[in-house]
């Protein structure tokens, strides 16, 4: 009897050990195919891969001092020509730690796959996304790490890898930020193979290089998040123009040509870094159907969630369809700008940032006129154009023709009447152009402004 019990116990132990070995082997097989590396950067050395988190090896988290109670940022780089990290990586890591000192900032290293021909690297985003998803699921299952603390940040091809990772995790991550997701091979791709709003609880996207036809645009043109922001219309960014490129080539030679080509593409990263470092100067984007409508000043409203912060402190607004937003920025940090947008009732655009002298002259004249006529406020926002809004500080005179009385509700009507019927602005402009070896500049122009003010009912007003 005793022998039978002993043999049964031995068999049970062997089965238990065999099950453990089988589970360990299965887990090892699950992590065996992971080629991406997960470097936990530190605030002291944001540019160094000091310690790697290895999926399946629990002790690696303790060795790297992973904080189980704080936020985790997972940074995924894009396609690379050199096979090395680009200069923006440590800048973003440093900015994240400055904003969230107790967080974990993990940089995903897929440099070997990212250095292939672009179509090959684009195809590898599926494998990179799978690696990241496996890593996140392991963290959640092994340590019960809450995925509402996980924020994926992907640049270019890395944005789509982040989206694929979010779609493959067993539970949704909190947020994915797409930094100018790559366009070629993804513009017409199915949602499951690229970044999409379904990949996280909240997906926000910055589009900074969406020029050209959709299939040739470096950055994806279509909206792929809950909120898609197009700084400066998503085209060439300030400071990235061709003239600046020629100047840098003349100064530094052709060694930095790749930096010049991707200047606008990479601006998405620096705009996000700007939102981390300049918390008190958030850039505001406005919801608009098209960039042309935004440039005409038709969308400068914050009613019903029509405006939102760019970058880290974006307000999480989820709608049934993608929300496209636009804004103007400066050429360097801090990127928050104030546009001079000057619009009368006839939508005359009288001011351009290119012609600063003319802008100053016209703004000064019209500002003085508006203050003298209606004691009104002029809202100046820095950027390409200027918008002039006449809003009376004090009750208007009692003109029965304009609604009369001292009612504040008629102020805007009265001011618009003044703009449309009492002011005549005559403008004569001419410009000189100069020619360079490689580009043309229109650099000088003179504009003379004559305006006359008259009152149709002088006797009534004096009364």
Residues above pLDDT 70, as percent of the chain = 62
436 versus 297: the higher-pLDDT residue is 297
Bridge partners (DSSP) of residue 451 are 425
156 as an active site residue: the answer is yes
214 versus 386: the higher-pLDDT residue is 214
Number of neighbouring beta carbons within 10 Å of residue 297 = 20
Lowest mean pLDDT among 121-130, 220-229, 230-239, 356-365: 356-365
Whole-number pLDDT of residue 260: 61
- What gap in Å lies between CA 283 and CA 170, rounded to an integer? 35
Closest CA to 324 of 306, 298, 301: 306
Whole-number pLDDT of residue 213: 80
Q: What pairing do the DSSP bridges indicate for beta strands 200-206 and 227-231?
A: parallel
Average confidence (pLDDT) over 43-65? 93
Closest CA to 349 of 337, 336, 359: 359
Q: How confident is the model at residue 118 (pLDDT cuts 50, 70, 90)?
A: very high
How distant, in Å, are the alpha carbons of 247, 307, 309, 313, 335 from that of 316?
41, 12, 10, 9, 22
How distant, in Å, are the alpha carbons of 137, 226, 296 from that of 299?
42, 19, 8
Whole-number pLDDT of residue 368: 62
**Residue ranges of domains in the chain, CATH in brackets:** 31-327 (3.40.50.1820)
Q: Which of 156, 167, 217, 283 is flagged as catalytic?
A: 156
**Cα distance from N-terminal residue to C-terminal residue, the chain:** 123
Lowest mean pLDDT among 38-42, 87-91, 400-404: 400-404
Phi and psi at residue 216, in whole multiples of 5°?
-120, 0
Mean predicted lDDT score pLDDT of the chain? 74
Using alpha carbons only, how large is the chain's radius of gyration in Å? 29
Give the tokens for residue 59: 């002790």
Q: Which of 77, 207, 265, 270 is flagged as catalytic?
A: 265
Q: Which of 94, 131, 137, 180 is flagged as catalytic?
A: 180
Lowest mean pLDDT among 175-184, 220-229, 353-362, 379-388: 379-388
48 versus 23: the higher-pLDDT residue is 48
Q: What is the 3-state secondary structure (H, E, C) of 241-308?
A: CHHHHHHHHHHHHHHHHHHHHCHHHHHHHHHHHHHHHCCCCCCEEEECCCHHHHHCCCCCCCHHHCEE
Alpha helices for 310-444 (secondary structure H): 356-374, 411-417
Bridge partners (DSSP) of residue 391 are 377
What residues contact 130, with CB distance under 8 A and at least 6 apart? 164, 165, 168
Contact 391, 371 (CB under 8 A): no
């Amino acid at each position: 009897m005793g022998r039978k019990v002993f043999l049964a116990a031995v068999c049970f132990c062997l089965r238990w050990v065999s099950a453990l070995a089988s589970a360990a082997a299965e887990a090892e097989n699950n992590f065996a195919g992971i080629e991406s590396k997960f470097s936990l950067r530190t605030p002291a050395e944001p540019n160094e891969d000091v310690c790697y988190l290895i999926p399946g090896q629990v002790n690696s988290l303790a060795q790297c001092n992973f904080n189980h109670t704080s936020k985790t940022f997972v940074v995924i780089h894009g396609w690379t020509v050199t096979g090395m990290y680009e200069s923006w990586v440590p800048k973003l890591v440093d900015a994240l730690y400055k904003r969230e000192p107790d967080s974990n900032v993990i940089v995903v290293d897929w440099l070997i796959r990212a250095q292939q021909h672009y179509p090959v690297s684009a195809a590898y985003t599926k494998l990179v996304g799978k690696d990241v998803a496996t890593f996140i699921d392991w963290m959640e299952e092994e340590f019960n790490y809450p995925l509402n603390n996980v924020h994926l940040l992907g640049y270019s091809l890395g944005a789509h890898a982040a989206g694929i990772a979010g779609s493959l995790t067993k539970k949704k991550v909190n947020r994915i930020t797409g930094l100018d997701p790559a366009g070629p091979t993804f513009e017409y791709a199915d949602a499951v193979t690229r970044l999409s709003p379904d990949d996280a609880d909240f997906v926000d996207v910055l589009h900074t290089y969406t020029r050209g036809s959709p299939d040739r645009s470096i950055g994806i043109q279509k909206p792929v998040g809950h909120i898609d922001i197009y700084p400066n219309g998503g085209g060439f960014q300030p400071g990235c123009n061709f003239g600046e490129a020629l100047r840098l080539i003349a100064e530094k030679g052709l060694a930095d040509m790749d930096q010049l080509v991707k200047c606008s593409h990479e601006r998405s990263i620096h705009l996000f870094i700007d939102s981390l470092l300049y918390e008190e100067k958030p850039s505001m984007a406005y919801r608009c159907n098209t960039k042309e409508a935004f440039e005409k000043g038709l969308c400068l409203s914050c009613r019903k969630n029509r405006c939102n912060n760019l970058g880290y402190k974006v307000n999480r607004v989820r709608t049934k369809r993608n929300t496209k937003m636009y804004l103007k920025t400066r050429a360097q940090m801090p990127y928050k700008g104030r546009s001079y947008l000057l619009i009368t009732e006839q939508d005359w655009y009288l001011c351009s940032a290119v012609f600063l002298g003319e802008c100053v002259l016209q703004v000064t004249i019209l500002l003085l006129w508006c203050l003298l006529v209606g004691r009104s406020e002029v809202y100046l926002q820095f950027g390409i154009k200027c918008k002039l809004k006449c809003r009376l500080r004090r009750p208007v005179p009692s003109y029965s023709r304009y609604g009369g009385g001292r009612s504040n509700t008629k102020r805007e009507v009265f001011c618009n009447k003044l703009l449309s019927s009492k002011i005549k602005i005559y403008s004569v402009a001419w410009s000189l152009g100069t020619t360079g070896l490689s580009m043309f500049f229109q650099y000088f122009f003179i504009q003379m402004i004559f305006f006359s003010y008259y009152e149709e009912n002088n006797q009534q007003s004096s009364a």
